[in-house]
Amino acid sequence: MTSYSVAVIGLGSMGMGAAQSCINAGLATYGVDLNEQALATLKANGATAVGTDAKAFAEHLDAVLMLVVNAKQVNTILFDLGLADALKPGTAVMVSATISADDAKAIAAGLEQRGLLMLDAPVSGGAAKAAAGEMTIMASGSEAAFAKLQPVLDATAGKVYTIGAEIGLGATVKIIHQLLAGVHIAAGAEAMALAARAGIPLDTMYEVVTNAAGNSWMFENRMKHVVDGDYTPTSMVDIFVKDLGLVADTAKALKFPLPLASTAYNQFVNASNAGYGQWDDSAVIHSFQGIELPLNVTPEAKA
C-alpha cells in the first residue's frame, strides 16, 4: 500500500515501534527525529526517507503521526517550525502525545484553520506492543479524521477505542489511564522498598508478587528493572512528573479529589528533585532512603 504515505515524528521507544509497524504494513513511511542514530536505524529497516524536519516530506504525506513528549513539542513542530503550513489541505495529523484536553482543542483549531484534520489519539502499550503493531489507541475526532487515518490505525493498533467526536476526549481518557499507571509504579516501588528494608531478596519478592493477586502489568514490567538494577529509560521519571501533573490539573478543573494520585505525583517529584528525572520511571524507588538497591545500569553509564 505504498500509495499511502505517513511521517512518524518522534522515534523514541514507542515512535520507533509505530514507524516500523507502518513499514511492515506496506505504508510509505518517513521518520523524523533529532537523533541521528534513530534515523539511521529506521532507514535501514525500510523507511522511505528520514530526516530532522518533516517539512522536507510534507508534499508527499497523507498523514502525520506525532509521538513526541508534550504539547509544547507538538506546537513547536506544527506551528513554530511551520509543518502545518507545509502540509497539503486534507492531510490528517494524529496527535499521540499525552497532553491536556485544552491543548488538544487548541492544536485542533490551529490545524483546522489550515484545512487539516486532527485525531486526538493518545496511545499505550509500551515499546514491545508498538513494535508488534498492537498499541492501544484511545481516539476522538471527526469521522473524516478516522477515515483518513485508518491505514495508520490498522498498522499500529491492536485495539482502537473511539471515544467520541469531540477533540479532547481521547486526551482525557489517557490522562485517567496515566493516573493508574503512575500510582501502580509508585505503589510497586513502595512495596519493593519495604521488602529491601525488611531484608527480603528483591528477586524473591518480585517472583511472589508476579505470581499472586497483588500483581499488575506495571509492577511486573517496571519492578523487573529494579531487580536488575537497570534504569535505562523507556519512560522516564520526568514523564510521570508531567503526566501526573496533567492528572492533577484535570482534577482541579473538575474540583475532584485524588489522594492516591497526589501522593504518587509527589513521589515522582521527589525522585526527579533527587536527580533521577532522566532515569527509567521505576527509579521513583530511589526517593526512599535507608535501603540498598541493585544498581548496574544507569542512563549515564549506558551513554
Q: What is the DSSP letter of 78?
A: I
- How far apart CA 169 and CA 100 sit, in angstroms, is 10
Domain end residue (candidates: 151, 166, 181): 166
Domain count along the chain? 2
Contact 28, 48 (CB under 8 A): yes
pLDDT tens-digit readout, 22-60: 999 999 999 999 999 999 999 999 999 999 999 999 999
Residues taking part in catalysis: 174
pLDDT tens-digit readout, 143-189: 999 999 999 999 999 999 999 999 999 999 999 999 999 999 999 99
Q: Which residues pair with 135 in a beta bridge?
A: 157
Strands 123-124 and 63-66 turn out to be unpaired
Helix (H) or strand (E) holding 132: none
Give yes or no: residues 140 and 177 share one domain.
Answer: no
Give yes or no: residues 158 and 193 share one domain.
Answer: no
| Residue-level pLDDT at 2 | 54
| Residue-level pLDDT at 300 | 76
For the domain that residue 76 is a member of, what is the CATH number?
3.40.50.720
Give yes or no: residues 293 and 205 share one domain.
Answer: yes
- Single pTM value for the model: 0.94
The domain of 179 spans 172-302
pLDDT tens-digit readout, 239-253: 999 999 999 999 999
* Confidence check: pLDDT of 303 > 80: no
Give yes or no: residues 255 and 232 share one domain.
Answer: yes
Domain end residue (candidates: 166, 185, 205): 166
pLDDT tens-digit readout, 275-291: 999 999 999 999 999 99
pLDDT tens-digit readout, 124-145: 999 999 999 999 999 999 999 9
Strands 157-164 and 135-141 turn out to be parallel
Sorted by sequence, the CB contacts under 8 Å of residue 144 that are 6+ apart come out as 117
Domain end residue (candidates: 107, 135, 166): 166
